[in-house]
Structure 1
Amino acid sequence: MKNLVLVFLLLITARAVAQTNVYTTANAHAHNDYQHEPPLLAAYNNKFGSVEADVYLSDDVVFVAHGEGDVANHKTLEDLYIKPLLAYIKSNNGYVYEDTTRSLILMLDVKSEGAATLSKIVDLLSQYPDITQCKSLMILVSGNKPVSSSYVSYPSFIWFDGLLSNRYSKEELTRIAILSDNLREYTTWKGAGDPPAKDWLALQKAVAKGHDLGKKVRFWNTPDNEEGWQKILELGVDYIDTYSIKSLAEYLKKNAPPKISK
């Protein structure tokens, strides 16, 4: 009986500790942020924890673009994200946000050839030491990445977005900050009602796998509405994808449950 009581108390204590971290906009990920006008501003003003931009290498310039057809817009990574972030960092004495407890991920979803594009990104960022040395800003590479065995060869200011469904070596995992996956690989659920039980179990196992590896977890192609957000939060993921920046920010301020720490 004493052992059962002890186990019960330990579980209660663990649950209380786990629920001390609540969901906020620090857990929000602005999917395709560059499609907002102007880019970055809405997510930044709502103190999002992550913003995503598609990038494409053309004529030795890194453009914010989904493909070659968008290059004609002449929107460069440097102009849309690097220079604005640099201004924020300088105005906040070396931090990306005025609130120094807040951090930001700049996720670069590479759409052109991975190794060549990343090489140019490294060259570009190396011109901005205030960016690369900012401890509250992470540069995270997603999309067309170089082979995972090469991750450790890149500068320490470059991090990688891994796939939950992949297996990585211990060395590769040291350069992976987030493990992500396509929700549609697990379920056809679109956000209304509950996902099928077997799909929910598969999702729970995937999240547990990422957390057991000590990594943050994110899904893309998630329902972008309140019912969908609620279920994604119940899974215990660390970043919630959205295109609806203002709506998710308001939802998190009013309704978000405690985040279960791992």
Structure 2
Amino acid sequence: MVVFALTLVAAKATIGADILFVERTEARLLEYPTQITQNIMPKMIHSHNDSLSYGVASVEADVSLYNGTLYIGHENAALTSDRTLDSLYIQPLLKILTEVNPQNAFTVNSTSPNGVFDTASGLPLQLLIDVKTDGVEALPFILKAFQPLREAGYLTTYANGTLITSAITVVGTGNSPLEQVKALSPRDYFFDAPLTQLTDPSLNTTWDPSLSPLASTDYGTAVGWNGIGTISDEQKANITKFVGDAHALGITARFWDTPAWPIYARENIWKALLEGGADWLNADDLAAASSF
């Protein structure tokens, strides 16, 4: 027993020395290809503040087409010549995905690419494209802009009756043109369905994940509770009904424009939505949402 104890002590000392040596020399033994998002836990949060560092799994880009270029900004006054869809989204995502999908002997037989999150490599990043200008005019330019990600196999695609999930699922919203999106074949640009109208036959549309992996609606119109006092049974029923309609079709549900203040009211609303089955928490205060 004495010999065993001494051996254990010696081993611990050796291991400690080895670790210290590796840390001091910054050896590549401590590094691995996909660590760019190391220790980030993805969360079902949707936000304009597109920060992967908080684990946001759904981000939104406000896109305007001018003179053949797609610019990023919620309104015209926010647009600048260098803030484009390509510079702020396409190229950064391509860089991240290239890094987390190294080409080597260990990955040669991989059948699907890693997503952006190291802790959940099979989870696609949902990217909403909120078209602010004419959607029919903008769509061809948007599809062309995603060509680098398409060529690399990073886009979720519906083709020949099969939906193949990949690292990024692109969903058009805002002025995205429904009929033109329905006509895409193959389709790697999907449509944000109207959450409150999924059972409305007048829309003449079959809603399912091959067209719309997501359905959204304005929280104020659909629910209306301001988070102060007690939510009514009718308001609760609205949440569960619309969420239930989406889930019955295999679609996730999101309520946008939820009140952001007072803070306690905002959190009451978040809680009510989560308890009602909503899939995405709409938020701009990422620090608060990620720790909620």
Q: TM-score with structure 1 length normalisation?
A: 0.76
AA in 2 matched with 1:236: G
CA distance in structure 2 between the aligned counterparts of 1:213 and 1:172, rounded to whole angstroms: 6
AA in 1 matched with 2:82: H
Relative to 1, partners in 2 of residues 1:56 and 1:26: Cα closer, same or farther, differing over 3 Å?
same
CA shift for structure 1 position 61: 0.4
AA in 2 matched with 1:221: D
Is the deviation greater in 182-191 or in 138-147? 182-191
2:218 to 182, 194, 217: 182
1:144 matched residue in structure 2: 175
Alignment of 1:194-233 (within 5 A): 194-224=230-260, 225-233=266-274
CA distance in structure 1 between the aligned counterparts of 2:70 and 2:153, rounded to whole angstroms: 17
Alignment deviations for residues 173-221 of structure 1 (CA, whole Å, 9 cap, x no partner): 6311111111111233122233222122122211111111221100101
Q: CA contact under 8 A between 1:179 and 1:215: conserved in structure 2?
A: yes
Relative to 1, partners in 2 of residues 1:242 and 1:86: Cα closer, same or farther, differing over 3 Å?
same
What secondary structure is seen at the aligned counterpart in 2 of 1:227? helix
CA distance in structure 1 between the aligned counterparts of 2:210 and 2:155, rounded to whole angstroms: 18
1:130 matched residue in structure 2: 152
CA shift for structure 1 position 150: 4.5
Number of corresponding residues = 219
2:133 matched residue in structure 1: 112
What secondary structure is seen at the aligned counterpart in 1 of 2:63? strand
Alignment deviations for residues 128-164 of structure 1 (CA, whole Å, 9 cap, x no partner): 4226447121111110021336423254221111101
Alignment deviations for residues 101-147 of structure 1 (CA, whole Å, 9 cap, x no partner): 33211111111101111210101112442264471211111100213
Relative to 1, partners in 2 of residues 1:175 and 1:243: Cα closer, same or farther, differing over 3 Å?
same
Matched, 1:236 2:277: yes
Is the deviation greater in 93-102 or in 78-87? 93-102
AA in 2 matched with 1:28: I
RMSD (Å), alpha carbons: 2.2
1:161 matched residue in structure 2: 192
Q: Larger relative contact order (C-alpha < 8 A, sep ≥ 6)? A: 1
1:97 matched residue in structure 2: 117
Percent identity over paired residues: 25
Q: CA contact under 8 A between 2:191 and 2:211: conserved in structure 1?
A: yes
Alignment of 1:46-125 (within 5 A): 46-72=54-80, 74-93=82-101, 94-95=113-114, 96-99=116-119, 100-125=121-146
CA distance in structure 2 between the aligned counterparts of 1:67 and 1:131, rounded to whole angstroms: 32
Q: CA contact under 8 A between 1:25 and 1:249: conserved in structure 2?
A: no
What secondary structure is seen at the aligned counterpart in 2 of 1:49? strand
What secondary structure is seen at the aligned counterpart in 1 of 2:43? helix
Q: TM-score with structure 2 length normalisation?
A: 0.69
Alignment deviations for residues 83-109 of structure 1 (CA, whole Å, 9 cap, x no partner): 111111011104222231332111111
- Structure with max Cα Rg: 2
Relative to 1, partners in 2 of residues 1:63 and 1:236: Cα closer, same or farther, differing over 3 Å?
same
Q: CA contact under 8 A between 1:107 and 1:139: conserved in structure 2?
A: yes
Matched, 1:26 2:43: yes
CA distance in structure 2 between the aligned counterparts of 1:172 and 1:66, rounded to whole angstroms: 29
- Could you list the runs of 5+ residues in structure 1 that have no partner in the other structure? 1-23, 34-39, 252-262
Relative to 1, partners in 2 of residues 1:188 and 1:172: Cα closer, same or farther, differing over 3 Å?
closer
Relative to 1, partners in 2 of residues 1:91 and 1:127: Cα closer, same or farther, differing over 3 Å?
closer
